[in-house]
Amino acid sequence: MRASRGFVYAVSTMGITGARADLDAKARALIARLREAGATGPDTIAACVGVGISTSEQVGEVLGYADGAIVGSALVTALAEGGLAGLARTSLALSQGK
């Protein structure tokens, strides 16, 4: 693992990408199992959670147990609906989930 780069992408829920109202508790359990196995952590690689994360509250929730939150669909939607200004607003709002 020490020779690895990047991160483990853990899905928050099974299904297609896109915004969701709730996150699945299975992602929390998966991250815990990865940490117990020594696959992620400060001396290895990061564990990030994605799929359906679209609010700063969800980002904050994910950052409570994972190293990062992946918000791709939320950013694509923000750009499509609000252009660069909408993307900037959404990025700022999502970053407040720290």
Tens digit of pLDDT for each residue in 13-23? 555 554 545 56
pTM of model > 0.95: no
- Return the SS3 of 87: helix
Q: How does the average pLDDT of the chain come out, rounded?
A: 81
**CA atoms of 27 and 63, how far apart (whole Å):** 12
Calculate ∠ Cα 68-73-12, nearest 5°: 50
Residue-level pLDDT at 29: 87
Q: List the single range of 13-17, 30-34, 47-51 with lowest mean pLDDT.
A: 13-17
The pair of three-digit structure tokens given for residue 63, joined into one six-digit string: 């950052």
**CA atoms of 43 and 64, how far apart (whole Å):** 19
**CA atoms of 11 and 23, how far apart (whole Å):** 10
Query: Beta 7-11 vs 68-69: how paired, if at all?
Result: unpaired
